[in-house]
Structure 1
């Protein structure tokens, strides 16, 4: 009996040793990669060496040995590529159109940026008085060749401009121009509107026309034939239709130039920002699916460079006003609340479409989870701790999303996370969907039972 047990034990031990030996021959470091395909068969932490430098890819900070760290290399395994300016998946060294503006880099005046012009008409002066009325109805147009680019007016109506006084207009227009063309010609035409016939005003320094022709040199970013004041009184004629327009022309990188205006504590604030279309398209192309409540945090983007710049703009406004932390949070909250509320089925055509913050800012609209992701991103960038608050039964059949913010000195409605633990945190309720709500104030909901997910 004992002999048979010994034989069985020996057989079992042999089988085990054989299996181990066989495994060692197949996968010595037990990392799941066969020895034949494992560049480091004795190191379970490494199995590949893309650049053959003797350092495994998991440890190598530069896997293609091109001099660019993997964290900043768009193509970490491709030695010949490291950047992708237009985010089209083609490396800049291989891409014939690095700004994706439709013009080959070899003919593009700025191969990394899609250029545009911003026309800013500052003011008008109706130099020659035409009648005894106090004001004159005034409009003007911008043309390129025979194409009318823009009619400038006061929201569909003419401006009523006092005679012989400088009248502020603040009329802007952005125009995307061909980047492969140096000279661009435009014409400005101004009118005094009369009951029967409109009268063209003389804004040109030339005797040959009342219209001012502008030739802009895109390469040197200068006007060739005009100054910033279009003035009909500078010609030698004795006509009585002279007027002047003050105009600035700036070159900028074409994108989504958006203006934001809102009111906080009876003071109006505003700023403009030019969003990169490629970055907006990138976010639109990302997944917008939600499988679990915590997935809403996937739309918080604290590392986005454009969002960091916008947070910086808001921080600078806060510093100028000498806001303390609580006041700054309410200021940021008022900015988020100023964006138009809209349902996803109206703006996106689907029942649920959570937006990334850049999408919300470019679209200038969103619902509760969109403005919540935006506010969380902004306050996290500025150094505050935040969470998303999800209330499944906020109203009959409807859920609601809001933001929780941890800030010293706050009061009002709040939720406690990890209560009684060393990392206990109070998140004060922030309503992002309607103007006027301050930190700690909550609308009248059917339920305030919520799921809290901290942004990390």
Structure 2
């Protein structure tokens, strides 16, 4: 076996060093050939190498052979060079001819397609080592993130937004390469060259905050959140938006989107309601009684107002002499509404003494609460001359067939005041009078100030007083009927009447204190004087029978009804007086019985008040136990005649079948 040099490139054959196959391959790959002496000089300096030299020849022989060998080697340079070249070319052709994958050693070193990726790596990647652009998308494999992906397409900004060689539609799950996958990326083709982070993409939606219209991705743009005062970087901070129209409440002019601007909408957060005429907190669309006048809308011809009017009697002249014995007529006026008696002016059993041919100032107003279920109201005014036997009518109608003034009033369309002259001289039938009056329609709900006047001890007093319509309407809506079942005499129902007295409501307490203060300021400081002052106030409120609005049915009023409407009958006045005096510490009671004004009159039912005044004397009754020792004095609250009406004075001819009820 030939001796091989330590580097494996030379072998000793027949005493001469010749190249090994390894050297031939290396030379073919471009390595420069060198002499065996170079190999020995480098590798055989070890003792083993020296031993090899000693075994081969003595120093003399070696030197000789070396000279000879060197000479022989130098004599064949051309032959060796040509051979080497031939071998190299052959090897190159051989290597080139080998397909990638044939030799792993070659694959490691070779890049067949020159795309910068070795054949071995391309084989591992699954790309074609012999094609620079395996998938033919216009990007070489070394810059293509999907080198073996979809074929026969071209990478453009349309098909491959980030230019990574992956087809956006099927291969690339992050088209703009910002670290946010397209499934949740709200800007999947946004700017390139950045990675989504908390600092520049607050909501991690793939949109750079500088260009993101909604940084917290809560559905509200940053601009709107700035307008609404919420935090545009927190999805937990969102504007209030009642109607969900993406206009926050503080900006939205119609928060409930019902077509009515908030400034005109009583219910800005209820799309089904926008008005509340009676201000009871129930919208008119749902409210069964929009004006709260105790008449349901389905029956109410004026559903947004409580129709009422003042009938004002202004002046009157008697043109015809009514009595044979003098030039004076004893005149009183009676009012009828829709066929029902509405009372007479002045109060019952009184009149005005007017000289014939003289125009007198009457200056009296009568409150009329119009029936809401009736549109056209028949209003009649009759004028009478009081006589000892039969009272005579005074003609104030221009119609020869009538003495009474008749007017039809439309409560729906007639909303403005009417001034009218009723002149009986126009029909030439005699017994004539002339009345100037007016009708002043209004919404009773709109009464803000009620005006009262009364006379006491020779002076007139006036009071402007505010009442609450809601309290009035609520009281009016309560049941008022008297249950007559089991009642044999009027006193049997006295507890039902007494239930209408109100002693603890604020409006009564406020008014009673005001009247007491007025009396004290005028120097009327005793209990009798204060009680009498209040008596004058109540007694001068217009008398009106119940039959006007309620037919023959008895209709006791709560105190606020009499105060609001400024009229009432005997039980209404008695209950108002009792309520006022009881609320400021007096002890008052209600009495019912039968009365007559003369021996010739029939008995009639009546109600009056009684009051305890210490150290007083007069007509009255002792109370029931436990007040059987306390005297209660008569108060005729129905009317007050200054100088004649006093506490403890009974104006009736006779009284019988009476009952007493202590109101607390």
Q: TM-score range by the shorter chain?
A: 0.3 to 0.5
Which structure has the greater CA radius of gyration? 2
What TM-score do you get using the length of structure 1 for normalisation? Answer: 0.46
More strand by share: 1
